[in-house]
Amino acid sequence: MTAYKIASEGIAKQLHYKRLNHLQALEAESLHILREAVAEFARPVMLYSIGKDSSVMLRLAQKAFYPGKIPFPLLHIDTSYKFPEMIAFRDEYAKSIGAELIVHRNEAALADGASPWKLGTQNCCAALKTRSLLDALNEGGFDAAFGGARRDEEKSRAKERVYSFRDAAGQWDPKNQRPELWSLYNSRLRKGESIRVFPLSNWTELDIWLYLYAEQIPIVPLYFAEEREAVIRGGMITMVHPGMRLLPSERPEKMMLRMRSLGCMPCSGAIRSHAETLPQIIQELIGFRRSEREGRAIDHDEEGSMELKKREGYF
């Protein structure tokens, strides 16, 4: 009978469309959003962060335009502080699915020696992520940018629209957002304005992992536990990475570690874990009672810090 299959080894499910499971319902909504944006914007781009959410978003883009190719380029904002494993994965994966990849760096700031140690995490993010992103969007003439942000990530994101309007300066005004009803998205813009489109708005972290598993989507190996060298710095497990300067008191130790959320090397904390496969990660996650962004230095600078960043144009 009517069936819609989630392909995966061992867990293939034949389901009637009248009885979609939540992953299929989420997928359907995301495909609709991706197509709607491509139909209505002149020059969309997908912000590709190499993380697990980006991996899901990319698969959804492949599905939305099948049997055609993904009809927009991927844009990676490279701070130069990303893990080498991320960069290798990015280049290989984009090539394997035949996607166009744009890499953008704030070269001027990097030449000035921008780093979290020199500028502090907030200013470093502002220069290497936010500024760099806005410049890249301007240079490319992009009027819409797909992002993998989810509303469940952080409190300030709970109010984010699927189509998030940005003024000509790339800023977000939380008090002046366009109402969003049904699945009718308003894509009308004046020159210089743009929209961030979030196809994963309604996905949770668990949904992402379940989908990665059900769809057998490749992700960066850093997500899987492995014995890695690290030091504990300011309560955060920091993996020893290229370019890292150890403090005199720091003695790197080998630990079973993995990343729960990928960011820049100095500011992303690892977690102790023995989860070496997707099923193990999911099992671990169900037992977790900590939100995933907690390991990120940028969120805890002050209460409501994410909201401040968003107003300035950060995702």
Partner 1 sequence: MSSQPQNWEMQQEHSREQRFREFLDSHLEQEMLRFTTAGSVDDGKSTLIGRLLHDTRSIYEDQLASIRASRVNRSGGEVDLSLLTDGLRAEREQGITIDVAYRYFSTARRKFIIADTPGHEQYTRNMATGASTADVAIVLIDAKAFQRAGELLPQSRRHTYIASLLRIPHVVAAINKMDLVDYSAEVFDQVSAEFSELASHLELNSIEVIPVSALSGDNVVERSQRMDWYSGPTLLEYLETAPLALREAADGPLRFPVQLVVRPNAEFRGFAGRVERGEVRPGMRVRALPSNRVTTVKRILTYDGELPAAGFPLSVTLELEDEIDLSRGEMLVAETGSAPHVHSSFRAMVVWMHEQPMNEGRTYLAKHTTRTVRASVRRIRYRVDIQSIGHQQSSQLQMNDIAEVEFTTSLPLFFDAYADNREMGALILIDPVSNATVGAAMIMGAVDEDGQDVSSDEGQSEEQEAALVWLRGLEQEAVELRDRIRQAGRAAVILDDQLIPDESLPAAMRALQLAKVTGISSRSDLSQATLASLRDLAGPRFYTTAEAAATLAHAWTNQEAQP
- H/E stretch holding 45 reads strand 44-47
Contact 296, 267 (CB under 8 A): yes
Contact status: 3 vs partner 1 (CB under 8 A): yes
The one among 95, 118, 178, 254 contacting partner 1 by CB under 8 A: 178
Closer residue to partner 1 in complex, CB, 122/177: 177
Contact status: 43 vs partner 1 (CB under 8 A): no
Site for partner 1 in 251-290 (CB under 8 A): 279, 282-283, 286, 288-290
The one among 85, 87, 91, 202 contacting partner 1 by CB under 8 A: 202
Site for partner 1 in 120-159 (CB under 8 A): 151-152, 155-159
- H/E stretch holding 63 reads helix 52-64
Contact 195, 165 (CB under 8 A): yes
Closest contact distance (angstroms) between CB of 286 and partner 1 is 7
Contact status: 230 vs partner 1 (CB under 8 A): no
Closest contact distance (angstroms) between CB of 223 and partner 1 is 17
Our measurement of the distance from residue 53's CA atom to the centroid of its chain's CA atoms, rounded to an integer in Å, reads 5
Contact status: 69 vs partner 1 (CB under 8 A): yes
Closest contact distance (angstroms) between CB of 150 and partner 1 is 9
Closest listed residue to residue 223, CA positions, set 151, 271, 175: 271
Per 3-state DSSP, what percentage of the chain is helix, strand, and coil (rounded to 5)? 40, 20, 40
CB atoms near residue 291 (< 10 Å):
15
The one among 18, 191, 245, 251 contacting partner 1 by CB under 8 A: 18
